[in-house]
Structure 1
Amino acid sequence: MPRYSRRVLAALTAVAAIGALAACTSSAASTTSHSSAPKSAPAQPLTLYAAEGYDAVMAKAFTQKTGIPVKVDDDSTGPLLTKITAEKNNPQWSMLWVDGDTAFAALDKEGLLLPYQSSSASLNSLGTSLEPKDKSYSPTATTVMAALIYNAAKVTAVPKTYADLTGAAYKGKIGMNDPSQSGPTFPFIAGVMNQLGGEKNGVAAGESYFSKLKSNGLHIYPTNGDTLHALETGQIDYGLIQSSAATGETIKVKASANYKPEIVYLPQSTLLPSAIGIDKADNPVVAKEAKEFVDFALSPAGQAVMQTGDPSGDSLFWPIVSNVTALKQLPAFPTSYQTLDPYYWGPLEGQVNSWFDSTIK
């Protein structure tokens, strides 16, 4: 039996339904002169590919509000993007929601995203600055990459610049995430490369910097949680991770004589927006539902769910929606930060990650 995509099957089902309806209408026309009002199309399930700590509770809250079912495929960003690439000719996703707008810029350049701007959302100035010109995806919040979290119970040296991390005081003591697994990590690498002249002069200077870190004993772990575990167990003394994960660690952990996590932000920290993109191949019903999900995420009710769904993790973001206040556990927004051009760096992600895999890991 031929194997059809979910959209082709949906279309065939619709054609069959129309034919059956036409037959019934023709038969009924000889006995009655009135017809019933058309019914609205039934809700179709949304499939949300997501790497947010609050994605499941957001999906549940959205379904409760709208009646639209949402299937959540929760995974790290890297594997989700790999699935989207593998499914390019038969997409199984309706929406993607992850941290890092570089991934969305790359998908947009491939023509995979449906442009949409929520007319009901009110973004603050920071949020407006993070919107793409073509509205191909919707930013929903922001964190920073990287926060440098360190064990103040063991070390006294606190770096002031990224260059300091290549010095003898930090030899064998630094850990970071794997960009092929951890979505926030490529924007961090790109941010360092950007500071070293990446947009004008390419990535060579950035590659040289990370090679120096490797020579100084850099450790690589899959994701934020793994790097934090290495910090907690004394494998490393410094970790370069997402700000929300670092702040969550300081909230969860009771300081002791052996472990006291503290955070510093090095100039220039890179803004890391979370964002939602809609699959351009969605049928009109699913596309409409996906837009409703974006509207909900950017509404006061949706933002409240985001801020409570993962209280010691991804909920620790700085809001980009007007009249939404950051959680009190968050530090002041960093004064020294940069934003990346996602349309420059996004298409380079595969190249940079491949180089990192083969050279630094």
Structure 2
Amino acid sequence: MISWKRRDAGVGAAVLLLAVAATACGNSAGGTTTAGAAGSSGTASAPAAVAPLVVYSAQGYDAPVTKAFTAATGIPVKLDDDSTGPLLTKVSAERNNPQWDVLWVDGDTAFAALDKQGQLLDYTPPVTLTPAGQALVPADHAYIPVSTTVVPALIYNAAKAAGAAPTTWQDLAGAAYKGKVGMNDPSQSGPTYPLIAGLMNQLGGQNGGVKAGESFLTRLKGNGLHVFPTNGDTLHALETGQIDYGIIQSSAALGEVAKAPKNANFDPKIVYLPQSTLLPGVIGIDKGAPANLQAEAEKFVQYVLSPAGQAAMQSGDPSGDSLYWPVVPGVSPRAGMPPLPAQYQRLDPYFWGPLENQINTFFDTDIK
């Protein structure tokens, strides 16, 4: 396959056309799809010299969004959809020869690391953001927040939970919750490291560090904390009665409440423990991409933050990632969603990002 990103500047139009055709040959086993503009005859109508924008994404609504973007702009998109962990592994492996133009995943700690490595293009889209959105913009504008969820959402089975729902982290370490609480493994679940970092930020902060958070997690383990790989496993444990309380990402919790059948033994509800940590959906642009692809990537960001792009995001995964809070004024969340929790914090990804391996190693050895 010809690489658009590393092609010789002297490649002629005929070779470019071959590359477009080769890239648009349908889905691969690895979850890669290409969306191209088509005319009324069904043949490709995009100019031969238009390079496909390569988007690495872990968002549940990315396929509808990229297709809508192509329909609106005529820019073809090659989408590589996967979980956050595998995508970040690919990005790391490709550091010296990136094959992506746009990276779109939840959480900004990975983007802070890419920024420190000089891999991200500084870009400020011509869009006003909400106060929560503005709080997520890095000082150097190296990446762009386009949505937010929060961690944790505490989902619990109201049919089995005795008494009032917990209102603080400290409640979960009490005798009433012994053996009843579950959470995800941060080594496998992308949203869980920011969740833990948010807890540590509350208990120790940047001055106090991780010790107070490690001590609290040790207390939770002593109180019978269950650890499952990902959101789906934790929610399954809640549904089957292995646990009564799950600490997960808000979109996963809201999706469970929306779609899970309720009965006398299962009635999922959600509370938010103070303070919730903002977990943004973030887009970054490869600084080393050719100028034409950077321009396409900037148009993609603008589209995602437009009313049409937000509508595609909100309809693309209605019981999952679409359950986010918009960061664009005038755009409402999906019907039925609660307001963004009033008490929230924004983590400094440039401080907490470098601590991820240390904290995950602690969790692997002392908590699981």
Normalized against structure 2, the TM-score is what? Answer: 0.86
Whether the 8 Å contact between 1:141 and 1:319 is mirrored in structure 2 is: yes
3-state secondary structure, aligned to 1:316:
coil
Q: What are the equivalent positions in structure 2 for 1:14-93 lying under 5 Å apart?
A: 14-17=9-12, 42-93=49-100
1:207 maps to 2:214: yes
Task: Report the CA distance between 1:261 and its aligned residue.
Answer: 0.1
Counterpart residue type for residue 157 of structure 2:
N
1:144 maps to 2:139: no
In 2, Cα distance between equivalents of 1:282 and 1:178: 34
Residues 108-148 of structure 1: per-residue CA shift (max 9 Å, x gap): 112111111112x2212222222111111110011110000
Paired residue for 2:132, among 108, 115, 126?
A: 126
Percent identical: 62
Whether the 8 Å contact between 1:177 and 1:224 is mirrored in structure 2 is: yes
In 2, Cα distance between equivalents of 1:325 and 1:91: 35
Task: Report the CA distance between 1:75 and its aligned residue.
Answer: 2.0
Tell me which stretches of 4 or more aligned residues in structure 1 moved more than 3 Å.
3-8
Paired residue for 1:185, among 171, 186, 192?
A: 192
In 2, Cα distance between equivalents of 1:178 and 1:278: 29
Closer/same/farther in 2, CA of residues 6 and 347 from structure 1, 3 Å limit: farther
Whether the 8 Å contact between 2:148 and 2:280 is mirrored in structure 1 is: yes
Normalized against structure 1, the TM-score is what? Answer: 0.88
Paired residue for 2:175, among 140, 156, 168?
A: 168
In 2, Cα distance between equivalents of 1:281 and 1:140: 22
Paired residue for 1:267, among 270, 274, 280?
A: 274
User: Which segment is superposed worse, 110-119 or 293-302?
Assistant: 110-119
Task: Report the count of equivalent residues.
Answer: 336
In 1, Cα distance between equivalents of 2:229 and 2:181: 14
Whether the 8 Å contact between 1:79 and 1:181 is mirrored in structure 2 is: no
Q: Unaligned regions of 5+ residues in structure 1, if any?
A: 21-39
1:227 maps to 2:231: no
1:153 maps to 2:151: no
In 2, Cα distance between equivalents of 1:48 and 1:181: 22
The answer for the alignment partner of 2:337 in structure 1 is: 330
In 2, Cα distance between equivalents of 1:338 and 1:273: 12
3-state secondary structure, aligned to 1:144:
strand
3-state secondary structure, aligned to 2:54:
strand
Q: What are the equivalent positions in structure 2 for 1:304-315 lying under 5 Å apart?
A: 304-315=311-322
Task: Report the CA distance between 1:254 and its aligned residue.
Answer: 3.2
In 2, Cα distance between equivalents of 1:309 and 1:7: 29
Whether the 8 Å contact between 1:78 and 1:179 is mirrored in structure 2 is: no
1:253 maps to 2:248: no
Whether the 8 Å contact between 1:116 and 1:135 is mirrored in structure 2 is: yes
Counterpart residue type for residue 151 of structure 1:
N
1:297 maps to 2:298: no
Q: Unaligned regions of 5+ residues in structure 2, if any?
A: 16-46
In 1, Cα distance between equivalents of 2:189 and 2:106: 9
